Amino acid sequence: MMIDFLGWFGAICLSICGLPQLVKTLRTRSVRDLSPLFLGVWLLGEVGYVSYVAARAPMPALLFNCICSGVIAGALFGCYWLFRRQP
């Protein structure tokens, strides 16, 4: 029971850790401090991890983490390409 709680707690924390950066980026429309290499590697990692988890270990906490993190990484990557040329 406690290990399930820890698993879900960790999945939720990791799933939403990029959310504050996404909110800040959307509010300021500034991506000056975001590294495109970081965002690209993060997004590729999430795609690979989602593929692995879905094929090997379809546990709800892992899938939740993968999907949420992937959406946030993708949104930040999209913001980077959308706002990169603004002063």
Q: Which tokens go with 54? A: 């879905």
The full set of domain ranges for the chain reads: 2-83
2-16 and 60-83 helices cross at what angle (nearest 10)? 10
Q: Is the pTM of this model over 0.75?
A: no
What pLDDT is recorded for position 4?
Answer: 74
Q: What integer pLDDT is reported at residue 51 of this predicted model?
A: 77
**Per-residue pLDDT, 23:** 92
> Residue-wise pLDDT tens for the chain (87 aa)?
777 777 778 778 877 888 888 899 999 988 888 888 888 888 888 788 777 777 776 677 777 777 888 888 889 888 888 888 766
What's the CATH number for 2-83? 1.20.1280.290
Instruction: Tell me the one-letter amino acid at 17.
Output: C
Q: What is the pLDDT at residue 27? A: 93
Q: Give the CA distances from residue 60 to residues 1, 11, 28, 41, 53, in Å, rounded to whole numbers and listed in that order.
A: 15, 10, 34, 24, 10
